[in-house]
Structure 1
Amino acid sequence: MSIDTPLSLLGLSTTPLELVSFLLSALTVWLNIRQNHWAWLFSILASLLYAAVFADARLYGDAGLQFVFVAVSVWGWRQWLRGGEAQRPLQVSRLQARGWIWMAIAWGLGFLALSWFLHRYTDTDVPHMDGFLTAGSLVGQFLLSRKKIENWLVWIAVDVLYVGLYVYKHLTLTAVLYALFVVMAAAGWRSWQRSARQCGDVAPA
């Protein structure tokens, strides 16, 4: 059996490659919720595998995004370990109002650039949705790397839309994964809120 051989799992069509990617991604988010820095290692592995899954489905924005995730994961790993004051481990914090503005601007500009590129230079049939969600994922990953609580809100919004996109692309198991991500992101939001209160970070930081 090759890594892209179709198979059925609990009535869902998938491939061994997508299944392994699914498991690594779920493990990554679970470790993120627990603020375990080893999450970044599994994030790198899952991103490399999902790049192949998405390229095969002609989701080129998502495929390219995985390589950006690899680079950001290396940076995020270092941030979590030494990104705090005096190079201590980074603590959970919140965005200031200015941070929200920059987040929205970055998402909007990323969407315009990516959707134009995907529409003009690739054969994807969903350039605008792919571009919008790719840009949002980059924003969410950056906020996660800096341990900003708001990363979970971004992921909730992005993952809900990804469920629909992956159902449309017949990536059924990945659609289930992203539905699970919505639930896990909500759990992450609550968990990091508690962590911020314990650290005394009750105001934007």
Structure 2
Amino acid sequence: MNLADIVEPLRQPLFTALGTPVSWIDSLEVLGFGSGALCVWLVARQHIANWPVGIANNLLFILLFSQAGLYADAGLQVVFITLAVYGWWTWTHGGGPGSGTLPVRRTTRTEWRWLLTAGVVGTLVLTLLLDRATDSTVPFWDALTAALSLTATYGQCRKRLESWWLWIAADVVYIPLYAYKELYLTSLLYIGFMTLCVIGLRNWSRDAVAGRGRPMEVAV
């Protein structure tokens, strides 16, 4: 059984709304829209609940991206889940002895060198892999967004301010990419993501200047 056989049942109509058949895939896109927006909003507020919400969002997007042929983005969700566990631990234990929070800091030059190297190498390797081993029609753009998202997520785990700029750069590519793959609701979601990224950048910039992180128990 190949991937197409697995996702084919998800394309079958689940119910009809206003005379239009709605499939499991459509429902997944709606759920991904809601959980993704909530996750980014929670990150902008430095709320610890962003990690479990993000993991649920990743599971939904594994199915959604697989059926759309965005294999790097689908595989990326597995890495995101691993990083979410790491980020969850870091946000609660990474502030040092006697601290219940991880402060917002700027990315160091050494970190930038590592991130740039990882991003370039990751993009090249994934592009070759997708081009030769899958039927992806957008191997470079799929690989580029995967690399940008991974570097941004690492920065988010460590509460590096510039992670928001990496997310904004990824969203600039994601929006037209998902529209091209006819994932219009997801494309719209990423427009919302970009707006939330700007809000997160503003909030984290304020905290970086003050040299602090927000308490883990901040209310939604």
Gap runs ≥5 in structure 2: 1-8, 214-220
Q: Which residue of 2 aligns with 1:60?
A: 71
> What is the DSSP-based 3-state SS (H/G/I as helix, E as strand, rest coil) of the residue aligned with 1:50?
helix
1:166 & 1:56 partners in 2: Cα distance? 13
2:35 aligned partner, one-letter code: L
Q: Which residue of 1 aligns with 2:121?
A: 109
Q: After superposition, what is the alpha-carbon deviation per residue over 1:6-29, rounded to whole angstroms, capped at 9, x for unaligned? A: 8779x9x97111100110000000
1:8 & 1:105 partners in 2: Cα distance? 48
User: RMSD of the TM alignment (CA)?
Assistant: 2.1
Q: Which residue of 1 aligns with 2:94?
A: 83
Q: After superposition, what is the alpha-carbon deviation per residue over 1:163-204, rounded to whole angstroms, capped at 9, x for unaligned? A: 010010000000000011111111111100011122279xxx
- How far the C-alpha of 1:98 sits from its partner, in A, is 2.1
User: Are residues 1:33 and 2:44 paired?
Assistant: yes
Assess if the C-alpha contact under 8 Å between 1:3 and 1:16 holds in 2: no
Assess if the C-alpha contact under 8 Å between 1:111 and 1:128 holds in 2: yes
Assess if the C-alpha contact under 8 Å between 1:3 and 1:17 holds in 2: no
Q: Which residue of 1 aligns with 2:5?
A: none
Assess if the C-alpha contact under 8 Å between 2:44 and 2:200 holds in 1: yes
2:17 & 2:109 partners in 1: Cα distance? 47
Pick aligned residue for 2:30 from 14, 19, 35 = 19
Pick aligned residue for 2:186 from 174, 180, 186 = 174
- How far the C-alpha of 1:103 sits from its partner, in A, is 1.5
Q: Which moved more, 1:97-106 or 1:61-70?
A: 97-106
1:34 aligned partner, one-letter code: R
1:104 & 1:72 partners in 2: Cα distance? 18
State the percentage of identical aligned residues.
Answer: 38
Gap runs ≥5 in structure 1: none
> What is the DSSP-based 3-state SS (H/G/I as helix, E as strand, rest coil) of the residue aligned with 1:85?
coil
> What is the DSSP-based 3-state SS (H/G/I as helix, E as strand, rest coil) of the residue aligned with 1:90?
coil
Assess if the C-alpha contact under 8 Å between 1:43 and 1:73 holds in 2: yes
1:85 aligned partner, one-letter code: G
Assess if the C-alpha contact under 8 Å between 2:44 and 2:203 holds in 1: yes
Moved over 6 A (4+): 6-9
Q: Please identify the structure whose Cα radius of gyration is greater.
A: 2
Q: How many residues align?
A: 198
Q: After superposition, what is the alpha-carbon deviation per residue over 1:35-82, rounded to whole angstroms, capped at 9, x for unaligned? A: 001100000000000110000000000000011111110110000000
Length-normalised TM-score, structure 2: 0.84
Pick aligned residue for 2:138 from 106, 114, 126 = 126
Assess if the C-alpha contact under 8 Å between 2:103 and 2:212 holds in 1: no
